[in-house]
A and B are shown apart, each in its own frame.
Chain A
Amino acid sequence: MPDDPLAADAGRTRTGALPIAGRDLSLGRDGRMLVDRVSLAVGTPGVTALLGPNGAGKSLLLRMMAGLIAPDGGAVTWAGRSPDRARAHLVGVVFHRPVMLRRSALDNVRFALKAAGVPRSERRDRAMAALASGGLDPLASTPARVLSGGEQQRLALVRAMATGPEALLLDEATAHLDPASALAIETLVLKARDGGAAVLLVTHDLTQARRLADRVVCLHGGGLEADLAADAFFRGPPAGPARAFVEGRLVA
């Protein structure tokens, strides 16, 4: 997508990463099917919420889409080709528990820019701009590991977005956050979406899904239960586990 402002930033390759597509993905461990023939693609700008109860296989699916674990069956492609290191900066990943490097917040972002092949002379300014976009600029020189949980999650997102990715894969990016921090993250996500990024968002927060999502995917027991436009889903999810899940949550 040569006209995409985010892709134009890419230091290493002009080839895009979208769509990110998993076809017939299966993953088994110890004789148990954890993900069972799931097909899912995110390719257009927008937010896809990935819902499902604990243990449904959401994180495993997200890591397979990110090219971090290989499926036992099926295949993941980025823009039609297998995921590769050279395009990693086009796919931003934020884990449930963010991994902060033992260096300052600024250097954490600079590290990501360096990995993406951004020239040294540009890294500092771009890293500062990214921090500012997440309101983290006052903490630039603070060691990342002393930041609060919410600040670390914001930093993880800022780090993932700094390289101008085409896709963002976010695993419970707002879990355990107070409303203000969650809002800060949501604002960043919307900003990325408005910039043209495709976002896949694992969340247990249905109101958040309502606020952000254009599309909802529901996973249960490793299988895909629903894949609907957001308004259709919230108007009334289909019968079965997806409905039970949503209603269970709404009641609770």
Chain B
Amino acid sequence: MQDLGGAFGEAFRLIGAFDGDLVEIVLLSLRVSLSAVALAALVGLPLGAAVAVARFPGRMASIAAMNAFMGLPPVVAGLAVYLLLSRAGPLGDFGLLYTPEAMVIAQAVLVTPIVAALARQTIEDLHGDYDEQLRALGIGRTGAVATLLWEARLSLVTVLLAGFGRAIAEVGAVIIVGGNINHVTRVMTTAIALETSKGALNLALGLGIVLLAIVLAINALAGLLRHSVAESAHA
């Protein structure tokens, strides 16, 4: 009974039933991970682009740090955010622990280094080609960062997708700071962990298949977005 076929059956049953709880969990997963990626983009893209364009002492070290933080274990990110947001922690007064906002913060901590590091590499490659042209037009550092971010937009969509993939797939951080509270902070991955701990392996795997389907759909949407952007400004 615990086989892939059973899991697929379970996945189709879940999707077919369009269960209210499942929809809620899926929507929360999307909301949390998309918000985290948006936050990470807001911080990581300019940061990565700035490091790509700027020359300052310690630049190599900060690049190495960004690259290393791409490998930050989710549990460690979760624990760090827990310690910050806990009532006993420095930000405890905001009462954010065990809320979707806490999960967004934890995932943003995970995803920002990925976005920053990949954006840095992308922009740096582009900067080599654009630098003299932009300076010849009188564009300064800040202007160059903004221009290069826009010029690299197609590649950066893929960067954000990589970040989204990491966010939506991780369980270690959100289960610590979200608490996997039913109807409040339960997302796809923590639901999968829960069903696994109940020994309901088919259901867990079925949820996993649903999660994959959603990630696939998001990627397809991003592909369409890229395509329409590419139409308007040839890559």
Contacts and interface: CB of A to CB of B under 8 A. Distances in A.
Interface of A: 63, 66-68, 85-89, 91-93, 95, 98-99, 101-104, 111-112, 115-116, 143, 145-146, 159-160
A63 B235 CA distance: 27
Nearest to A160: B136
For the complex, would chain B's binding face be called helix, strand, loop or mixed by DSSP majority? Answer: helix
B132 A95 contact: yes
Contacts of B234: 102, 143, 145-146
A66 B232 CA distance: 32
B53 to A, nearest CB: 14
Contacts of B232: 143
B135 A111 contact: no
B139 A115 contact: yes
A115 B138 contact: yes
Contact of A68 (B129, B132, B143, B151): B132
Given A89-B137, A93-B136, A102-B234, 14 more contacts: A63-B132, A66-B136, A85-B138, A85-B140, A91-B136, A95-B133, A99-B133, A102-B153, A115-B138, A115-B139, A115-B143, A143-B234, A145-B233, A145-B234
B121 interface: no
Given A101-B147, A102-B234, A143-B233, A68 B138 contact: no
B130 interface: yes
B137 A88 contact: yes
Given A143-B232, A143-B233, A88 B135 contact: yes
A76 to B, nearest CB: 14
Interface string B99-133: 00000000000000000000000000000011011
15 contacts: A63-B132, A93-B132, A93-B136, A95-B132, A95-B133, A99-B132, A99-B133, A111-B137, A111-B147, A115-B138, A116-B138, A143-B232, A143-B233, A145-B235, A160-B136
Nearest to A141: B232
